[in-house]
Structure 1
Amino acid sequence: MVTWMEQNQNRADGCDVVVVGAGLVGAAVAARLARAGFNTAVLDAQGVAGGATGRSAGMALTGLAGHYNWAVGAYGRQEARDVWALTIEGRERLIEAAGRLSVPIENTGSLALAIEDTEAHTLEESATLLQEDGFDVQFELGDPLGRGFRAALRHPADVTVDAGELTRSLLSSEDVSVHERAEVYDLEPERDSVRVWAQGRNVLCSAVVLAVNGYASLLDPYFTDKVAPTRSLIFATEPLDGILLEQPCCADYGYEYCRQLPDRRLLLGGWRRPQPSGQQQDQEPGLGDVMRDGLTRFASHYFPEVETRKADRWSGIMGFTPDGLPLVGRLPDLPQVYFAVGMGGRGLSWAFAIADRLMTLMLNDADPGILSAARLG
């Protein structure tokens, strides 16, 4: 049972663990904590799935936005393989949770599409490496959609889901107290506990989990050079007459993406290439116009028959780390505060994997491995 509480007075409460952030990661962690017997409260500045989770395109995709050959060069062969395997683990855990909670999953597979010959070569090289490392992918030179793309890499096991519905179902499945419109603005040590100061209330607890992704640096300066907030933009058209896409697609090294919803609306999304960590690029002057114009050009080039001028539009904030991998750990100066943030543009694939590693850190003091925040110093 979930208790939904309005913030209409300055209340002082107590619990075992406060989870800050009611997106998919926060919901997964809170549900696990409640199942383990901890009195758990979730606080969110907006509402359940009101941030990047609810504003996402609902795609649980294999790997990172950058292609596999890039990851091999950046991390080394074994670590790249481990990263891709972790996103598959996260996707499979998402599918299991959705099945248990009766949340519909679409088993669509996905396509990574090249917009130029250089990227086509990158996809081909990535396909070879992925197949050598045991991953199920298929490369196709040319465009299976007939829209001018240069090549495609198919991931047949990827899925789509209503991430907001899954998040709400997770929280409803366990005895978690959820406080909406309760923006957290300070974490204060108090003996062996932490007092969480939020709009309308404060909560004394034994531990805190930060599941705020791109907003992490607003809560502690530790994240200033570790998590860069990055804005994404989505267009959603009116329902189309027919089916244009049978699976979600990413193009231009993952910076543009598209998906047709069950109601036949076409989602077209894009995000700005991250600036160096700590730069508040979501506040850059004119950024919204730049993103809108770029996404409009992408839509008119590859989907010229689709009207986007009257499309619904919304944006969300993602969090990117310097090396592209999520961060799981605890604050050095306040070790009762744990975190799982910085999931980039693949939050649905990472959510359950990083929630699992955070739980093993909290309960067993187990090293999060390649996701450990200690790697960034």
Structure 2
Amino acid sequence: MDLVYGTPFWPSTFNPNSNYPSLQTDISCDCLIIGGGMGGALTSELLTERGVNTVVIDKRKIAHGSSSANTGLLQYTNDKTLTSCINTFGEKTGVRFYELCREAMQKLTQIADRLDTDPWFIPRTSLCFASSIDDVAMLEEEYQTLKHYGFEAELWNSDKISTHFPFSKPAALYTLGDAEVNPYRFVHALFESASKRGARIYGQTEMIHCEFDDDGVLCHTSGGKIRASKVIFAAGYETQAIKKDQGAYLQTTYAIATKPLPDLKEWYEHSLIWETARPYLYMRTTPDGRIIAGGLDEETPREDQREIRARHRGDTLLEEVRSYFPLEGLEVDYAWGAVFGNTNDGLPFIGPHPEYPHSYFLEGYGGNGTVYSMFAASILADAVTGVENGDMELFSLTRTSKPSPV
């Protein structure tokens, strides 16, 4: 599956020192992670921290799948509001989901601070504005819900928005505790850290098939066999080619990185910006003065249309950015498209599957994939090391695709 097309920005920012070889022999381990992206990187970091003998494989070079196209906005809020989560899943589950996202943001911050390679992780605030006057009541209700359950947020009116930004909207939620990151650097920094603790990491090593028996899993790869007590499938959106989830679906999203701009002082606090419309526009800045913008989600185009589609959608995104920040010298430098996954109910899939013994799946699907991958890594690290974790059942792979309030 081609996950990325066009030219993503992040690989141009980092030339990794580590060159992960392909597997050339038969090996064994406690836990095999299939996937060398964000989910696999975070999980390998936590497993090696606990002394688990860990192996990671990816059929591509490390971090060259969806992680290279990730726009790096990290937030505790979600595409599905807390109010909507409570209405759908009930109070306990809805609030716990948001608590897990907040805890994941705190954990991501702690991990980023201790890495040897700088992942360009910077704490940020976020502004989610009402795309139309019709969305104001929803934002007001969400503000009250967040406040009631102890989540940091402010409700801004149009005057306050126009005071801090060169545009105005009817209302906005202003949230604290978020961050931006360079996902490509972050994945490499995480694997660098895990490898120093003994993780064996192999790029360009494709899983062919797995055999399951009483003792664990025998994974046949393009370069050798791997005997593992446990396997974590962290293959991202390509997991749907391994095991189709009834409640998951794939789409394509688009993003651009502008050329560096000399002055972004009108961008208050370099906040992460997004909106209530669906699909939504989102924007952020980079340490070297660029603007990254994304959105325009749609069905994945035919293969022969993807490259030109990425360029055309990039031009549309630039005009969207210009409508909010009419800056001189605003030009597209990089434009790309990427496949991404969503779920019908808004929750990721994390945990075991009855048809795959000794195995767990990490599917951080949705608009907050890195945050989901962080708490998924914690849940699965507990599972592998025999620590009970009641949060896993919230994200069951066999849950109904049409949840009801509890």
Shorter-chain TM-score range: 0.7 to 0.9
Rounded to whole Å, the distance in 1 between the matches of 2:262 and 2:131 is 26
Residue aligned with 1:156, SS: strand
Rounded to whole Å, the distance in 2 between the matches of 1:240 and 1:3 is 31
Q: Which residue of 2 aligns with 1:209?
A: 232
- The change in CA–CA distance for 1:5 and 1:261 in structure 2 (over 3 A counts) is closer
Task: Give the number of equivalent residue pairs.
Answer: 366
Q: What letter matches 2:240 in structure 1? A: S
Give me the TM-score of the superposition, normalised by structure 2: 0.81
Is contact 1:110–1:247 with CA below 8 Å preserved after alignment?
yes
**How far did residue 344 of structure 1 move?**
0.9
Superposed counterparts of 1:1-377, under 5 Å = 4-7=19-22, 11-101=25-115, 103=118, 104-142=120-158, 143=161, 144-173=164-193, 174-190=197-213, 192-221=215-244, 223=245, 225-243=246-264, 244-245=266-267, 246-253=270-277, 255-272=280-297, 281-283=299-301, 288=309, 291-292=313-314, 295-305=317-327, 310-364=332-386, 366-367=389-390, 368-376=392-400
Rounded to whole Å, the distance in 2 between the matches of 1:335 and 1:167 is 28
Rounded to whole Å, the distance in 1 between the matches of 2:155 and 2:324 is 20
- RMSD, matched Cα: 2.6
Rounded to whole Å, the distance in 1 between the matches of 2:377 and 2:44 is 9
Give me the TM-score of the superposition, normalised by structure 1: 0.87
Deviation string, structure 1 residues 188-229 (Cα, Å, up to 9, x no partner): 2255332223333332222210112211111224x3x23322
**How far did residue 292 of structure 1 move?**
4.4
- The change in CA–CA distance for 1:248 and 1:158 in structure 2 (over 3 A counts) is same
- The change in CA–CA distance for 1:36 and 1:108 in structure 2 (over 3 A counts) is closer
Q: What letter matches 1:373 in structure 2? A: L
Rounded to whole Å, the distance in 1 between the matches of 2:23 and 2:370 is 33
Rounded to whole Å, the distance in 1 between the matches of 2:86 and 2:354 is 30
% identical aligned pairs: 23
- The change in CA–CA distance for 1:201 and 1:147 in structure 2 (over 3 A counts) is farther
**How far did residue 294 of structure 1 move?**
5.2
Residue aligned with 2:204, SS: coil
Q: What letter matches 1:195 in structure 2? A: L
Rounded to whole Å, the distance in 2 between the matches of 1:302 and 1:185 is 48
Rounded to whole Å, the distance in 1 between the matches of 2:372 and 2:296 is 18
Rounded to whole Å, the distance in 1 between the matches of 2:189 and 2:254 is 26
Rounded to whole Å, the distance in 2 between the matches of 1:258 and 1:167 is 21
Rounded to whole Å, the distance in 2 between the matches of 1:233 and 1:241 is 25
- The change in CA–CA distance for 1:16 and 1:115 in structure 2 (over 3 A counts) is same
Is contact 2:253–2:338 with CA below 8 Å preserved after alignment?
yes
Is contact 2:261–2:289 with CA below 8 Å preserved after alignment?
yes
Is contact 1:186–1:196 with CA below 8 Å preserved after alignment?
yes
Is contact 2:315–2:332 with CA below 8 Å preserved after alignment?
no
Q: Which residue of 2 aligns with 1:277?
A: none
**How far did residue 124 of structure 1 move?**
1.7
